Amino acid sequence: MKILWLPALLAGAILPLQAVINGRLSKELGNPVLASLVSFLVGTVCLVLYCVATRAALPNAQTLARIPAWAWIGGLTGAFYMVGVVSLVPRLGVSVTMGLVIAGQITLSALLDHFGLFGVEAHPLNAGRACGIVLLAAGVFLVKRF
């Protein structure tokens, strides 16, 4: 399980880089929504090329029909995240924006885990997890303050 920590850390480390790059794109284009659209288009092209190169099998109609309706809105949540971050980085800075993003991620993650929502295995909220969330919030406050 610990071997998965490195890719998770790398994935997290890419987010502030993405925010800076897309923030610059937004500044140059003059529109955070347009910058987000360009970012998604570039990502889509890269994913299509990857699927073609790896000969990824397309799902059949039965597989598509089994997917719950809520599972199709991941792109919408990604778009909301992207426009939000692209809009906030120039105003708040990268570290405060990412700190708030991470605080929001951890808080909602703890609730999703606690209630076992969207098919995830339940992991009850305990004092240690709650303390971690409070400490994270304090960390964001310190980053913003100093």
Q: What is the pTM of this model?
A: 0.83
Percent above pLDDT 90 for the chain = 89
Overall average pLDDT of the 44-49 stretch: 98
Residue-wise pLDDT tens digits, 73-118? 999 999 999 999 999 999 999 999 999 999 999 999 999 999 999 9
Residue 145: predicted pLDDT: 86
For residue 51 the two structure tokens come to 């699927």
Residue-wise pLDDT tens digits, 93-104? 999 999 999 999
Q: What residue ranges do the domains of the chain occupy? A: 15-145
